[in-house]
Amino acid sequence: MKLLRGLIVFCLSVFIITGCATAENGGKNQPDYESTKKMMVDMLKTDEGKQAIQEIMEDEEVRKVLVMDSAFVKKTIQDTLTSEEAQKFWQDTMQDPEFAKTFAESMQTENEKILKGLMKDPEYQGMMLTILQDPEMESNVLEIMKSKEYRQQVMTIMSESFESPFFTAKVNEILSKVAEKQMEKQDSGGGKEKSS
């Protein structure tokens, strides 16, 4: 805040000096806008002027004031991103495999959060059910599931799952429980036969 006051004092000093110079000349040469602007720009280009601006921009209070108009910032970003140049830039950039991979990885966590949130939303669930119950959609899904590529992908996923230590441990746990239940049934069946 002190720096902002310093800049205001600096600007006022320039205008006062300019006014005094005019008064000394008998008020004949009134300073016009262009000459004042040129003088201000020249002063800001000096090392002291640059240093003053840098210090002002580093001030926390000034930063808060600069980012206050979030509606303006949002509109500027939207206009920039939706322009034809921006769309072409993103299309070209997304064709780079390395960038696309990095971008997808950076968005993965956020996308997962959004998707989990949507899955709990009743309105979203209703929309998904409507889409899945659509006969055309059902036909397309069945067509995809019949394709060789889809089956190959399923086989790959299954192979990877079977190789996973976590999956193997889970399957072993389920099989152990099933075996225990079978043994209990046999024991209880054998006990009944003996009692009869």
Q: What is the token pair recorded at 145?
A: 């599931």
Of residues 42, 48, 36, 35, the one with CA closest to residue 7: 48
Q: Sign of the CA dihedral 177, 179, 185, 190?
A: negative
Residue type, 91: Q
Bigger pLDDT: 191 vs 81: 81
What pLDDT is attached to residue 1?
Answer: 52
Global model pTM greater than 0.85: no
What pLDDT is attached to residue 9?
Answer: 58
Residue 29's pLDDT band (cuts 50, 70, 90): low
HSE-CB for 97 with a 13 A CA cutoff: 0
Pairwise CA distance, residues 172 & 169, whole Å:
5
Residue 87's pLDDT band (cuts 50, 70, 90): confident
Q: Is the pLDDT of residue 75 over 60?
A: yes
Residue 25's pLDDT band (cuts 50, 70, 90): very low
Bigger pLDDT: 67 vs 173: 173
Pairwise CA distance, residues 12 & 179, whole Å:
90
pLDDT, tens digit, 9 for 90 and up, residues 102-160: 877 777 788 888 888 888 888 888 888 888 788 888 888 888 888 888 888 888 888 88
Q: What is the token pair recorded at 22?
A: 């005019």
Q: Is 29 in a helix, a strand, or coil?
A: coil
Residue 10's pLDDT band (cuts 50, 70, 90): low
Pairwise CA distance, residues 121 & 181, whole Å:
39
The answer to whether 75 and 69 have CB atoms below 8 angstroms apart is no
Report DSSP letters for 119-131, one per residue: HT-HHHHHHHHHH
Residue type, 114: I
Pairwise CA distance, residues 154 & 148, whole Å:
10
What pLDDT is attached to residue 24?
Answer: 46
The answer to whether 73 and 67 have CB atoms below 8 angstroms apart is yes
Average pLDDT over the chain reads 76
What pLDDT is attached to residue 118?
Answer: 84
